[in-house]
Amino acid sequence: MAHFDIYAALKKHFGFTKFKGLQEEVVKSILNGHNTFVVMPTGGGKSLCYQLPALMQEGTAIVVSPLIALMKNQVDSLRALSSEEGIAHVLNSSLNKTEVKNVKNDIANGVTKLLYVAPESLTKEEYVAFLQTQKISFMAIDEAHCISEWGHDFRPEYRNLKSIIQRIGNDIPIIGLTATATPKVQEDILKNLNMPDANTFKASFNRPNLYYEIRPKTKNVDADVIRFVKQNEGKSGIIYCLSRKRVEQLAQALQVNGIKAVPYHAGLDGKTRVKHQDMFLMEDADVVVATIAFGMGIDKPDVRFVIHNDIPKSIESYYQETGRAGRDGGEGHCLAFYSYKDIEKLEKFMSGKPVAEQEIGHALLQEVVGFAETSISRRKFILHYFGEEFDNETGDGGMMDDNMRYPKKKHEAKDDAKQ
């Protein structure tokens, strides 16, 4: 595929004139029919990596994705970019017979370039039998970390993908994409999809504009949070809490102190959730106090701080959640309150789970303890966790954390946290 064609297609289908990061190399790898593995942080532009080659090739690309909402979103935006309604479809259990027939027709007629399926739908005999008879350009496995028990979102259905892909067609190229790849998860994905030979493209996970800070969590955490928010008056921020109860309590404490804060958690009814989310996006509220239910698909570019009232259960979660700050490249202060008691609490939550899961959960938590208690650069720690070497002297954002900026305070903080 000539260089010129790829750029022309990028312009034609998406209206973009440039690729982001490693996109061009990934697109070429897919167009050449190679198994391909893509590791890019959230917002890196993974979708385009498979959408563009799918639009440029004959046949239909099958895209496996774990969330129906995400699939619908992508299909809608692809349709908006095209004059052809059938260019993209979702195949799932909510379709009636007529709708399924319509999807099948579009695929058979070569109209559909991208077919989104949930992994559990792909196990349906009827669909496998149909897809076997069609021209499939490649299979893209989005959020591929769902394959791994070491990932933050393990889904057993993802485990069977390789055998299903083989049944659909033996030599179909496979593309795995994820934003969460510790070396262990990465290994798991490649092994499970049986593609040790895959062309691997890994973008840096460094977010140089984010400032990382851990403070000991004391009884005065409410006052500490309120003071921080007041010092950042008028700026957008997210405060993550572990429990719904704590979300409500803290949101109220902030409101009482004159801060425009709204709560967000899965226990609120849908209407209230949408309202609070919109208030935050429209800046009628400065702060959203939330459980981890908040964030999936939220793309507010100017979130200036993310506070963790409770330390998350893994470095991946911490990275994802703090990653919602400073998307526009501007200031992003990531402040987490840490107490070893919270680690014990998280350990306790896991005690009802299967032993294998507990062991993994424990190992992930130990990394969090290491991170919270370290006196080395937080950025170096995070990047090392993701298998990336970072040099504070030469690396972008090398001084952007509490340990680097105020090296002495560390021991005090550590002792406090252990009390």
Interface positions with ligand ADP (CB under 6 A): 16, 18-20, 23, 40, 42-48
Q: Which is nearer to Mg ion, 142 or 342 (CB)?
A: 142
Q: Which is nearer to ligand ADP, 48 or 214 (CB)?
A: 48
**Distance of closest approach, residue 174 Cβ to ligand ADP, in angstroms:** 18
Q: Which is nearer to ligand ADP, 65 or 236 (CB)?
A: 65
Q: Which is nearer to ligand ADP, 45 or 267 (CB)?
A: 45
Q: Say which entry of Mg ion, ligand ADP, none residue 295 contacts (CB below 5 to 8 A, set by partner kind).
A: none
Q: Say which entry of ligand ADP, Mg ion, none residue 236 contacts (CB below 5 to 8 A, set by partner kind).
A: none
Q: Say which entry of Mg ion, ligand ADP, none residue 45 contacts (CB below 5 to 8 A, set by partner kind).
A: ligand ADP
Classify strands 303-308 and 114-117 as parallel, antiparallel or unpaired: unpaired
Subset of residues 183 to 242 that bind Mg ion, contact rule: CB under 5 A: none
Q: Say which entry of Mg ion, ligand ADP, none residue 43 contacts (CB below 5 to 8 A, set by partner kind).
A: ligand ADP
Q: Say which entry of Mg ion, ligand ADP, none residue 20 contacts (CB below 5 to 8 A, set by partner kind).
A: ligand ADP
Take residue 251 and report the two structure tokens written for it: 């949101």
Subset of residues 31 to 60 that bind Mg ion, contact rule: CB under 5 A: 46
Q: Say which entry of ligand ADP, Mg ion, none residue 44 contacts (CB below 5 to 8 A, set by partner kind).
A: ligand ADP
**Distance of closest approach, residue 51 Cβ to ligand ADP, in angstroms:** 8
**Distance of closest approach, residue 14 Cβ to Mg ion, in angstroms:** 15
Q: Which is nearer to ligand ADP, 88 or 343 (CB)?
A: 88
Q: Which is nearer to Mg ion, 46 or 207 (CB)?
A: 46
**Distance of closest approach, residue 65 Cβ to Mg ion, in angstroms:** 8
Backbone phi, then psi, for 201, in 5-degree steps?
A: -125, 115
**Distance of closest approach, residue 243 Cβ to ligand ADP, in angstroms:** 28
Q: Which is nearer to ligand ADP, 19 or 158 (CB)?
A: 19
| Binding residues vs Mg ion (CB under 5 A) | 46
